[in-house]
Amino acid sequence: MLIQFSFKNFKSFREEAALDLSAARMTEFSDRVVTVGSEKILPVAAIYGANASGKSNIYSAFEYMAKYVADSFKYGDEEEKFEEYRPTPFLFDSTSADAESSFEVYFTLHGDKNEKTYNYGFCVDKEGVTEEWLNSKAKTARKYSTVFYRENSDNELDLSGLPKNSRDNIKVALEKQVLIVSLGAKLKISKCKVIRDWFLTNEFADFGDPFTNFFLSRRLPKGFTENKNVQQKVVEYFASFDEHIKDFRVEKVPNDGDSKEEKYKINALHKKIDSDEMAEIPLGAESAGTLKMFALYPELQEVLEKGSVFFIDELNARLHPLLVRNFLLTFLNPEINVNHAQLVFTTHGTWQLSNQLLRRDEIWFVEKDDRGVSTLYSLADFVDEDGARIRKDESYEKNYLIGKYGAIPTLKSIDIFRGDQCLGDIGLASTGEERRD
């Protein structure tokens, strides 16, 4: 499980930002808190903020870290690939634009009987990796032990926590653009592979990106095309919000020879209102919300089975608030979420800002100041103008919308549509000497 993710100097976040999923000392919904070793961890983090405040940059920062861990072993011999995957620093001051960006996580591994806690992170600038570390802590230990550490400016490289027969291979092959954990996983060093694999099990869905929407809506659940039981599970999944879809008909499309990829025609079956017969509708003709829920199913299935983390940007897009609420309850219900999967999502849907649904430490806000700098903070840590913390019986939604917690748009009237302004523009157009009919 993800305990904490922090990053610095990435896009609109100039200073360090920390998304902390460790449970604070509070009484609400204590049954959903998961204890692993000495850690108490939350299943959900909901992130709110105005448009362009930087909410999506939190999603992007974790996705960047995961991709760099997975692929950096490729960058050492291909400088152009590293150029493509360099992080985007905060660009609105001269110091940050040339400084390194940092990324760090604390997490536990699903199914680890020893219940170890891991701390992994790295710093990277326009030249490559400047620092990287991996530490682990046993369930009963007070301090972390070093697995490896590198610091490039002083040529420091400590691999003492890795097997002796692997250290020379790392030293020979390691280049400045490559992460030890990525290279070590490629070399099948188990201590590196488990870290890399933790990142790979996490899922991402950016529903603010039209290309992602297009791709996800065409991704099929594992075994869907050939296994009727899988199709039935999807029908049951749909029944939680739309009982009209009764079944699916899947037909393989003959290959035209230009592609090796297998293609399928999928129709959703709906019961006719005046008979027991079924009406067939191409899946692509279903509503945008239905297609989005279909797109969410494969990732939801994966994270619930593996106990991993699901990052979703703009979860509320094209979904009814009650449907989003039902989706959240899947993660919040310990009887369903038996493997302790987690959901981290950004949203504008204030219906979920309720003390009947979320704990204060599960609610986060992003605010951007007039310099373009974003800040991340939790409702649990928020202090009002009187120095008091937020009570659990407050109306979170109402207080957020009236600006008590910040992180809302600063609105001005759209003056260009004032009546006199429009008339003035029309008058200018009608009297202009250069006008041609």
134-171, pLDDT tens digit by residue?
A: 999 999 999 999 999 999 888 899 999 999 999 999 99
Pairwise pLDDT comparison (12 vs 153), residue with the higher score = 12
pLDDT tops 50 at residue 429: no
- Give the confidence band of 263 by pLDDT, cuts at 50, 70, 90: confident
Q: For the residues 233-252, what does the mean pLDDT come to?
A: 86
Which structural domains are found in the chain, ordered by start? 2-202+308-381 (3.40.50), 219-293 (no CATH)
Tell me the backbone φ, ψ of residue 222, rounded to 5 degrees: -60, 125
Please give the pLDDT value at position 435.
41
pTM of the shown model: 0.88
pLDDT, one tens digit per residue, over 310-332 is 999 998 887 888 888 989 999 99
* Look-up of token digits 């296994």: 227
Q: For the residues 265-280, what does the mean pLDDT come to?
A: 90
Please give the pLDDT value at position 79.
67
pLDDT, one tens digit per residue, over 115-130 is 999 999 999 999 999 9
CA angle (28, 31, 33) in 5-degree steps? 85
- Give the confidence band of 388 by pLDDT, cuts at 50, 70, 90: confident
| Ranges 30-34, 106-110, 182-186, 233-237: which has the least confidence | 233-237
- Give the confidence band of 418 by pLDDT, cuts at 50, 70, 90: low
Q: Which long-range contacts (CB under 8 A, 24 or more apart) does 299-305 make?
A: 299/203, 299/205, 300/330, 301/221, 301/222, 302/201, 302/203, 303/201, 303/202, 303/203, 303/341, 303/342, 304/330, 304/336, 304/337, 304/339, 304/341, 305/339
